[in-house]
Structure 1
């Protein structure tokens, strides 16, 4: 059983870079460039699918099989749905989240010309001084939310002159913080924490000079939050581990310091043998972990299975509190995710 020591400084540094790079689903070119450059520097082969997903490849000792590991770099976000007469923006969601989770959040509007503008997401009744009870009771749904642009605009024409248009992307400020106690709090830990773990795995391969038992394909998908991130995967992959956040909540045992091993999600049960092997390795390595069931959850492995891939599949990842909101995990969960993956793919 291979046991690695992840480079903790490297993983936290690359995670911060990922979190600071806006990448709502459909607007991931900048973060994909970052991951591709990092993967190449770590010695991985690069290839792309037609929708912009990245495949990082590593040669194994036995090339007769290929194991896939996937993580998604796309995040929740929004787009400009319309420009209101008063110069605010109506938005439409990209990905599944509640409006309550983004109220009062700072954001960036990305125009197709390349210009960006900052703003704040608010309800249409943002002040208790002006709207009394209505400010508290108004439903936080899309039609009652707007983006206040940080520019001198008083109407729709002023906004259009800035170059802002319907269909422009809106990213939410991640605001990443690593606390002295080791917590990582930020938006978009789903799933940039897992991408950092995969890059940490590659860094370990290069630094420690070990090889995976079989060929390894790391799929960095860019449409997972809208359901089709890994709906196509290379045909040579025989088994796929989706690396995505573990959920915390009622009826779940996962903690922020744990590696989550998901036995079943909305797609159905994951592969019995793969899941059992991951549990066994976590136990042998003394990795804090939890086995849970996520009925409201789907992963890249789910998308691959629905897309007809002839694979076995499993799902693991660092435990994340307040998923699809202001999220938090612990650095040990991210490091241990990389450690468990190395044990699974490495030669004995």
Structure 2
């Protein structure tokens, strides 16, 4: 049985992690354009000065093998850094942009959101997602018309009133569009931002390593463990490749789905028993329940009806290792999301206990 981590040790790890989390949330990483966030993660994890060898896969994911006391079992822990976003679909005659979604964001969740358009030359142009003919003083149907790819557009903060003028700015189909994250860390411990799915879980892995290092426990990690920051989860294939054949267990760290009929909350860590891909590993789930109980970690169990993870992708590609899924509750997922530092702390603690446990 691993020794539970002292609460003050965990609180200190969270305090050290929050600046990293804030910068990561403010680093754009829509699925397909994650190199800035992967670079930031690489620098952040490297700066912890741990016995990690850090490298990137050909798909651009981050791999960080961590030596344990034994190589008898090979483990992996993963979270994804790619997020929702959008892409320029067309330049309209008005000079405004038609756009396509990247990932599963509801159209209603992005109305009136600030955005940044990245051109092929890496110029950044600000704008806002607005309804077409959206002034209620002009269009009596502005409030009731459906929200979709034909009724929302991007109004650029540039002097352009024609398609030719917008094209002259360097904008073309395929340019990435970043949603403003609007990060807020409140005094009550709440964390509000877009893209907590799944950057908050990347931060939990980071915080677990800080806690183990500060507690002098890095040398007590039970088994060789591959840490992975994936970059294509939101489109379903982030976890499908690049895993070692000898991997025995994969712990996926991803947000817990909150809503009517769900047991997950923002203040605990949730063990997902089943998502839309089916049940996760019974053996791993039993071990994680035991670790949480022994360490006094508040653990919820839940089922996610409309959800899949990198673990789902891994199994769908024929992966043979056991897989489990944990994470803190995130309210209003794929919208303007919210969680709490307590959920981050307890997820961090369970990751640490898993790394130490046999």
Quote how far apart the aligned CAs of 1:283 are.
2.2
* Superposed displacement of residue 64, structure 1: 2.5
Which of the residues 284, 288, 292 maps onto 1:278?
288
Partner of 2:157: 150
Aligned to 2:36: 30
2:263 to 250, 253, 276: 253
Q: CA deviation at 1:12?
A: 1.1
Where in structure 1 do 4 or more consecutive aligned residues deviate above 4 Å? none
SS for the counterpart of 2:24 is helix
TM-score w.r.t. structure 2 length? 0.95
Aligned partner of residue 33 in structure 2, secondary structure: coil
Alignment of structure 1 residues 12-161 onto 2, 5 Å:
12-42=18-48, 43=50, 44-132=52-140, 134-161=141-168
Question: Is it true that 1:10 corresponds to 2:16 in the alignment?
Answer: yes
Aligned to 2:339: 329
How far 1:200 sits from its partner (Å)?
A: 1.0
**Corresponding position of 2:198:** 191
Which residue matches 2:351? 341
1:308 positional shift = 1.1
Paired position in structure 1 for 2:308: 298
How far residue 347 of structure 1 moved from its aligned partner, in angstroms, is 4.5
Aligned to 2:178: 171
Q: Which moved further from structure 2: 60-69 or 310-319?
A: 60-69
Q: Could you list the per-position Cα deviations for residues 29-49 of structure 1 after superposition, in whole angstroms to 9, with x for gaps in the alignment?
A: 000000011121222211222
What's the TM-score once normalised by structure 1's chain length?
0.97
Q: How far is the alpha carbon of 1:336 from its aligned partner?
A: 1.0
Checking the alignment, whether the CA contact within 8 Å between 2:121 and 2:170 is kept in structure 1 is yes
Separation in structure 2 between the aligned mates of residue 26 and residue 263 of structure 1, nearest angstrom: 29
Please state whether the residue corresponding to 1:249 is helix, strand or coil: coil
CA distance in 2, matches of 1:121, 1:300: 30
Equivalent pair of 2:29/2:37 in contact (CA under 8 Å): yes
Q: Report the aligned-residue RMSD.
A: 1.1
* Residues in 2 aligned to 1:67 and 1:346: alpha-carbon distance in whole angstroms: 12
Structure 2, unaligned stretches of length 5 or more?
none
Query: Aligned runs of 1:308-327 on 2, under 5 Å?
Result: 308-327=318-337
Deviations 1:207-231 (Å, cap 9, x if unpaired)? 3332310011111000000101111
User: Number of paired residues?
Assistant: 347
For residues 192 and 248 of structure 2, the distance between their equivalents in structure 1, rounded to whole angstroms, comes to 35
SS of the residue corresponding to residue 234 of structure 1 reads: coil
Give the gaps of 5 or more residues in structure 1.
Answer: none
Q: Which residue of 2 aligns with 1:205?
A: 212
Q: Distance in 2 between matches of 1:319 and 1:259?
A: 7
Partner SS for 2:345: helix
Q: Identify the range of structure 1 (186-195 vs 135-144) with the bigger mean alpha-carbon deviation.
A: 135-144
Distance (Å, rounded) in 2 between the aligned partners of 1:52 and 1:112: 19
CA distance in 2, matches of 1:177, 1:279: 32
